[in-house]
Structure 1
Amino acid sequence: MTTLGTASAAPGEFDTGRLSVGESRDGATVGLPVAVVNGERDGKTLYVQAASDGDELNGVGVVRRVVPQLDPAELAGEVRVVGITNLPAFNVAEHRNPIDDTKMNRAYPGNADGSSSERIAHATFSAASDADLILDLHQGSTSRMINEVRVRCGRHHRLHSRCLELAKVFGTGHVLDQKGPEGQLARAGPNDGIPTIDPELGGCVGWDEESIQYGVDGVFNVLTHYGFLDGDVQTEPQTRAKEFDRFGSPVGGLVDFQVDLGERVSAGDTLFEVTDAFGTLKATVTADNDGIFWRTRRLPQVATGEYVCSVGTNVDTY
């Protein structure tokens, strides 16, 4: 029998429920939506969560497509899912938890007696603590970004190669292999001995069907490759970036991008121009290094020093 919150499933069963993480201001229980799919056959355990940032909805789109397709009769092992992790932020369509103004993916492994975000992190990390693999589904917030997977444990970590393999199996085509900030689940998981990746499924307002499909395909790639489902996965070479160059605007005005997301750039190539409201050119910004045009702001208007775009650098194929 596998239990996650109020969801409980014996071998060959599926159940949904709620994982209590405290109470709201009116005293009502706050329960995250959870699901357990317990296969008829023994096998590994996969933990999946989505929307630890409340406005990153593509992962929720992945969950709602994947879970109905999981048949316990065909599954070896079990899949545990937290469908909406940062529920307070999700309910108000914000990135950070509004109760404590915290970015959830900086609170892991959490604290059972801590702030709202720390308690949610603790509850969800406890649900994942005996898993064999962790998928933490994200997107590039509401900015524009390529579909990629992040390996955040650091290249000298003892689990680095296993996390990199998991990223390759997920298979978006692009991987950022760069040590992440403290408090990320994709760092806490490997520190606890669990290969963990952070798929960043594009970036949009609402959700994006193409990015959601990347996520659905990625989850099923993982389920098949690691023996939860029968079949074979043909992994493809991934383009890996190990660093980021971030660019702000040297002036205020309106941005015109000169390259497309995912495009290769060379040092000295023009990335964007900034004009005034009448089209007069005020500034031209070029790439510092060779790389891949990775991420951009969504809105064209910028102030001096405001973030505009990122280029993935130190690129190779693995």
Structure 2
Amino acid sequence: MSLTLGDASAAPGEMATGRLRIGERRDGSPVSLPVCVVNGADDGETLYLQAVSDGDELNGLGVLTRVVPRLDPAELSGAVLIVGIVNVHAFQIAEHRNPIDDTKMNRAYPGDEDGTSSERIAAATFDAACRADYVLDLHQGSTSRMLNEARVRCGRHHRLHGDCLELAKAFGTGHVLDQKGPDGQLARAAPGEGIPTIDPELGGCVGWDEESIQYGVEGVFNVLRHYGFLDGEASMDEQTRAAGFDQYRAPAGGLVRFRAELGEEIHPGDTLFEITDPFGQLAGRVTADCEGVFWRSRRLPQVATGEYVCSVATGVDAY
């Protein structure tokens, strides 16, 4: 049976690309999202992938540019539906939020087909996601420095929590944030429809980062193997899981000098960072309050008093 997404239609054993129309620009010209349908030669389940929900988070798009050329429909059981660029308005101007309505797209799900620009895009892409058995919503930690991780956002009491954890383990970045997310996230909304969904956060950078992209490529193919879309053994290595974060802010204005590295185990009293003045004189020092893992930090060294500097993951265990 042929599968269609937007104007892309593929018969079994075929791949097609096209566009999914989501409205018009201010001059009346059409706006559409790039889509791809990979329809396997054999029957099976459906995986939905999307990227660039936030317009400056490009690592997910980098993943798709490397994954899609390697997908052979003749070797695939089931189908893969892909929206390559979700927040197309923000992508065009390299900004995080949709400039049409000043909205963070990943707070607009499940959307509203008669709503704002972001709600209409969310509704169109949510409709595509709800045709799938599994969903990967590819993100990155904006422009901050961050570990490669996968986020389980449904909450630990959700009926699909175990299924989402399994999907995160199959994706296999090595680090998982298992914390209920805010309303409007795709990884919150899709499990409500019975679809295991995760939100991989592939590092953080300006532009894109090849190492994080490779984590994503390997993650997608591991998911495809684990759930039977492709033949082969899937690696299911132990993951470091966190339940939340402690955030640390600058006690004084100046320049940040980190004393901890991403992924480092942190103990109470460990120095996380120091603040110096422009001449290297110490203006402040911040130490950890509890056990955890150094997970995320700002990229630029200059900070004002009270400005965010870094995060330490807490409630850490292995699964």
Q: Same fold (TM over 0.5)?
A: yes
Shift of 1:260: 0.5
Encode CA deviations 1:245-290: one digit per residue, 9 max, x unaligned. Answer: 0111111111000011111110110000001111111111011111
1:144 aligns with 2:116: no
Task: Determine the structure 1 residue equivalent to 2:42.
Answer: 41
In structure 2, list runs of 5 or more residues that go unmatched: none
Which one-letter code corresponds to 2:204 in the other structure? G
Which runs of structure 1 show a deviation greater than 6 angstroms over 4 or more consecutive aligned residues? none
Matched residue, 1:24? 25
**Alpha-carbon displacement from aligned partner over 1:18-76 (angstroms, at most 9, x marks no partner):** 00110011111111000000001000000000000000000000001000111110000
Structure 1 residue 234 displacement after superposition: 2.5
1:283-307, Cα deviation, whole Å (9 max, x unpaired)? 1101111100000011000011111
TM-score (normalised: structure 2): 0.99
Give the structure 1 partner of residue 239 of structure 2: 238
1:1-318 mapped onto 2 (5 Å cutoff): 1-318=2-319
Whole-angstrom distance in 2 between the partners of 1:193 and 1:288? 38
Q: Which amino acid aligns with 1:77?
A: G
Shift of 1:232: 1.3
In the aligned structure 1, how far is the partner of 2:104 from the partner of 2:248? 23
Identity %, equivalent residues:
74
Structure 2 Cα separation of the partners of residues 190 and 249 of structure 1: 37
Letter in 1 for 2:180: K
Distance 1:171 1:39 in 2: 24
* TM-score w.r.t. length of structure 1: 0.99
* 2:223 aligned partner, one-letter code: V
Secondary structure, counterpart of 1:199 in structure 2: strand
SS at match of 1:168: helix
SS of residue paired to 2:243: strand
CA distance in 2, matches of 1:241, 1:270: 21
1:126-157 per-position Cα deviation (integer Å, ceiling 9, x unaligned): 01112100000000001100100000000000
Inter-partner Cα distance in structure 2 for 1:49 and 1:39: 19
The 2-side partners of 1:106 and 1:295 are apart by 21
Whole-angstrom CA distance in 2 between matches of 1:6 and 1:75 = 22
**Equivalent residue pairs, number:** 318
Q: CA RMSD in A?
A: 0.5
Distance across 2 between alignment mates of 1:232 and 1:192: 29
- Partners of 1:151 and 1:128 in 2: CA distance: 16
What is the CA-CA distance between 1:190 and the residue it aligns to?
0.5
Counterpart code for 1:297:
R
Residue 240 of structure 1 aligns to a residue whose secondary structure is strand
Unaligned runs of 5+ in 1: none
SS at match of 2:111: coil
2: CA distance between counterparts of 1:261 and 1:99?
Answer: 35
Corresponding letter in the other structure for 2:160 = L
1:98-136: per-residue Cα shift (whole Å, max 9, x none)? 110000000000000111100000000001112100000
Counterpart AA for 1:121 = A
